[in-house]
Structure 1
Amino acid sequence: MRNGVLVFSLLAMFTVILAACGGSESEDTAAAKPEAAKPASASLTLEEAAAQRAGGPGSFYIGDLSQLVGPAPAPTLGDEDDMVNLAGLERERYLFDSPYYAALVKKANFTNPTELVYDGDPIEIQFTCINRTVAPCKLVDAVITENIKERTQGKLTLEITSFPELGLAGPDTLQLVRDGTIAFTEITSGYVAGDLPQLEITFLYGLFPDHEVEFKVNAAVQGDLDKLIQDDTNGGQVISRMWISGGDNFFFCRDKIETAADFKGKKVRSHGAALSDWIEAFGANAQFVAFAEVYTALERGILDCGVTVAFAAHGQRWYEVTDYMVGPLSSQLINTMVINANVLADLPEDIRQILVEEGARHELEAMRVTPAWNEVWTQRNVDAGLEYIEFTPDMKEIQANKAVPIHVLPNWIKRVGGPDTDIVRLFNEKIAPIVGLKINDDGTTTQIPITK
């Protein structure tokens, strides 16, 4: 009996020692295991993920637009109340019902997001906006910058700068990404048209009658344009796009523009070759001026008008040096966020994949917040003192019958090397069925049925 008690006591002591030394798993040890071993989100369905994120920044659509209603990610990025409202979402519903949007949701990887593995030194990448005072750059800062910092626990940070801060004008952006001078940047096709005019295929002003048609065109060719950018920048990658469904262009002028004849002889700031062709069709003189320099040029009378989107003009306070806001020239502004190939390749695999996922989520958030931007920023310019003048029927007729068929489209065809080029064949294959206009072998155009 005594021996049995002794054996039992020894066994009990041995068990305690094993537990203390880690020989068996205690409750505390089990609780200390990293959650990364079994991602909490791995068991989520897409519907559950959408429900969890509904009602504010980061929400996404899989059938219920009301889930996107809620606060914007930062002040001035939503409607007049800094909200995303259902009316704007319904107006641009084609965005959310598109195959492109569904592919973005898949790319964003909400149900099983990439886990952070990297535990080395923090990595900082500089991202260059066209101008940090305008809404798209503020959206980048509020969304992709903050989300990457949070998801990587500070292991990757994006440091925001801008063209003016770096002394850049914009036309050489692709070259600067190509040679590594810029690591990660915003690229607008109009700026780089001299370097890669093929990118203007989605910036042919006046060709697209409304936002939905322009979105269909953009969605149809984005993969092809990504490949063009990749080839031109020696492997640079498009990480995200700045979709702005509230991105119509307006003419901000010192003198009143009430008729098409009032444009004649006016010196007008343009931000791209195709836009210059549109301006020239109205008898005005198009001039490329760096965005940050337009205010001074208008103030001194070097320019009579400047063309840009409503939020950009307000961000640069053009209402202080002009009196009239004329338009709109329909445009669904889409700029790309391109990273240098070597910078991307040098990132750890998990960090790189998190960047890709957050790029997709940034696009989704841009689609959520920007539908209200035309209305809210137009009103803010009016509140600042501008008189808003809508294009007259005569102006619209000149756009349809002169600007597009005689100036914008033929001049673009010349810039890309003529009708017998891959980019024109791409136009006829993917864009012609959407806009109902085919480019012939001699460079002329023919109307065709709209089938897409």
Structure 2
Amino acid sequence: MKRLSRKLVVFMAAVLMIFGIAGCSSSAGTAKNESAVKSGEEIVLKLSEPQVDDYPDSIAEKEFAKKVEELSDGRIKVEVYTGGQLGDETTTIEQTQVGIIDIGRANAGPLTQFADSLGIFSFPFLFDSREHMWNALESSLREDLFSDLEESDLICLAFYDAGARSFYSTDPIETVKDLKGKKIRVMQNDILIDAFKKLGTSPTPLAASEVYSALQMGVIEGGENNVSTYVADGHFEVAKNFTLSEHLRIPGVLFMSKSSWDQLSEDDQKIIKEAALESEKTQLEEYDKYAQTSMDRVMEAGNNVVELSDKERSEFREKVQPLYKEYESTYGDLFKAIEDTR
């Protein structure tokens, strides 16, 4: 489902910044320079990564860029701009959609605005494990999700692992009953808000940048995220209880502007696809190391890490089961496809 009404606004807001970067580039051409593509001259693609330079996604994207250059004998170069130089996730999506940026990476959560089917990742306890999620992503489900996003002028290239999201809080959460009435920060997502209400919380949508101070001031009593972000954003300093509920697994997505994609030859498109799929392996390896380092920091800080028993996790899961029935008409086929990959 397309969301193109903001194109002009996004373009006007970003064009000076992008042109400024392009003016400093010594590239011989870009994917939007059709004559460069046809003549076999150098193609330069700009990739926007909101995370910092040493984050697993950034490392994987640099490997992607190396592979593209290698497979094209140096003819295609991918410039990776990390640390949000070209914008945050939402800005990256919108600018890639309209062709200002060639390639971007964002979590599947905000991408739901551009492809309804990606809302499937908003259902808690959808996957039994990381292995289950990747079984699903490597099935025919991948192409179904990719084709849905293409309707919004974005070509999906790869999925990246973003770990499992768990609860963290100022007071311990050891059972589902401990969530009752707690003000928990949640992403602005209708499915998640409904899910957290069913878990008994008082879901509080906030921008990620506001969470630290909200925890400090007692505006909220907790949040939920993967352990890497819990540490990277400093939330482990003000919410010292981390409950391994692992209730959500929302992958990242590497995608390309359809306008840039369409100006590549079929052979060059194959190069981009091959390099992107190979980058998934790098990202998985790097994410494992990054997550372990993050958990080590949590333990060194003396934080309370709560491991749920199978029985306790089942109680969490049971609370959100009515949500699946409510959305059966919208996501029923996807629920079944994921169930079949268990």
TM range (shorter): 0.7 to 0.9
Residue 241, structure 1, aligned to residue 149, structure 2: no
Q: Which residue of 2 aligns with 1:278?
A: 195
**1:387-407 Cα shifts (integer Å, max 9, x gaps):** 21123566423223222x123
Aligned partner of 2:325 in structure 1 is 410
Q: Does 1:186 align with 2:105?
A: yes
Larger Rg: 1
AA matched with 1:248: A
Instruction: Please state how far the C-alpha of 1:224 moved relative to its aligned partner.
Output: 0.5
Q: Distance in 1 between matches of 2:92 and 2:240?
A: 32
Cα distance in 1 for partners of 2:247, 2:176 equals 17
Query: Corresponding residue for 1:156?
Result: 77
- The correspondence for 1:263, drawn from 179, 182, 192, is 179
Q: Which moved more, 1:179-188 or 1:354-363?
A: 179-188
Equivalence for 1:338: 255
Q: Cα gap change, 1:278/1:291 in structure 2, threshold over 3 Å: closer, same or farther?
A: same
> Distance in 1 between the 2:45 and 2:231 partners?
31
Aligned pair in 2 of structure 1 residues 402, 259: CA closer, same or farther (>3 Å)?
Answer: closer
1:427 is matched with 335
Instruction: State the partner residue of 1:309.
Output: 226
- Distance in 2, matches of 1:129 and 1:325, equals 27
Cα contact 1:277–1:411 (8 A) shared by 2: no
Please give the per-residue CA displacement for 1:52-108, whole angstroms capped at 9, x wherever unaligned. xxxxxxxxxxxxxxxxxxxxxxxxxxxxxxxxxxxxxxxxxxxxxxxxxxxxxxxxx
Residues 257-286 of structure 1: per-residue CA shift (max 9 Å, x gap): 233332222221223444433322221122
- Structure 1 equivalent of residue 204 of structure 2: 287
Shift of residue 360 of structure 1?
A: 1.5
- Tell me how far apart the structure 1 counterparts of residues 92 and 87 of structure 2 sit (CA, whole Å): 12
SS of corresponding position for 1:191:
helix
Inter-partner Cα distance in structure 1 for 2:177 and 2:109:
26
Q: Contact between 2:167 and 2:242, CA under 8 Å: does it hold in 1?
A: yes
Q: Which amino acid aligns with 1:358?
A: A
Aligned residues of 2:53 and 2:82 also touching (Cα < 8 A) = no
- Residue pairs, 1:374-413, within 5 angstroms: 374-391=291-308, 395-403=312-320, 405-407=321-323, 409-413=324-328
One-letter code aligned to 1:240: A
Give the match's secondary structure for 1:401.
Answer: helix
The whole-number CA distance in structure 2 between the counterparts of 1:204 and 1:287 is 17
2:242 corresponds, among 304, 322, 325, to 325
- The alpha-carbon deviation at position 338 of structure 1 amounts to 1.0
3-state SS of the aligned residue for 2:138?
helix
CA distance in 1: counterparts of 2:339 and 2:43, whole angstroms: 48
Check if 1:298 corresponds to 2:211.
no
**CA-CA distance at 1:358 after TM superposition:** 1.1
The CA distance in 2 between the partners of 1:356 and 1:433, in whole Å, is 26
2:169 is equivalent to residue 253 of structure 1:
yes
1:57-72 residue pairs with structure 2 within 5 A?
none
Q: CA deviation at 1:343?
A: 1.3
Structure-2 change in CA distance of 1:351 and 1:344 (3 Å) = same
User: Does 1:120 pair with 2:37?
Assistant: no
Instruction: Return the offset for 1:333.
Output: 4.2
In structure 2, what is the equivalent of residue 224 of structure 1? 144
Is the Cα contact below 8 Å between 2:168 and 2:242 reproduced in 1?
A: yes
Task: Report the CA distance shift for 1:199/1:147 in structure 2 as closer, same or farther (over 3 A).
Answer: same
Aligned partner (choices 102, 113, 127) of residue 208 of structure 1: 127
**Unmatched tracts of structure 1, length 5 or more:** 1-115, 414-418, 436-452
- Partner in structure 2 of residue 438 of structure 1: none
| Secondary structure of the corresponding residue to residue 250 of structure 1 | strand
Q: Distance in 1 between matches of 2:137 and 2:98?
A: 27
Distance 1:412 1:373 in 2: 35
- Matched pairs, number: 303
Provide the TM-score with structure 2 as the length reference. Answer: 0.75
Partner SS state of residue 306, structure 1 = strand
Provide Cα deviations, 1:327-348, integer angstroms capped at 9, x if missing partner.
1315554211111111122345
Identical aligned residues as a percent: 18
Q: Which residue of 1 aligns with 2:13?
A: none
SS of the counterpart of 1:190?
helix
CA separation in 2, counterparts of 1:372 and 1:121? 35
Aligned partner of residue 219 in structure 2, secondary structure: coil
Q: Is this contact kept in 2: 1:240–1:360, CA < 8 A?
A: yes
- Equivalents in 1 of 2:53, 2:223: separation in Å? 17
**Matches of 1:356 and 1:384 in 2, distance apart?**
42
Which residue identity lines up with residue 123 of structure 1 in the other structure?
A: V
- Matched with 2:118 is 199
**CA-atom RMSD in angstroms:** 3.2
Counterpart Cα distance in 2 of 1:290 and 1:133? 22
Higher relative contact order (CA 8 A, sep 6+): 2
Q: Deviations over 1:150-208 (max 9, x none)?
A: 55537412232455x556463x7655443335432223222233553321224422132
Tell me the secondary structure at the aligned position of residue 240 of structure 1: strand
Alignment partner, residue 139 of structure 1: 59
Q: 1:159 to 1:306 in 2, by over 3 A?
A: same
CA contact (8 A) 1:260 1:394 kept: no
Instruction: Report the residue type matching 1:120 in the other structure.
Output: E
In 2, are the aligned partners of 1:250 and 1:307 still within 8 Å (CA)?
Answer: yes
For 2:177 and 2:283, the matched residues in 1 are separated by: 37
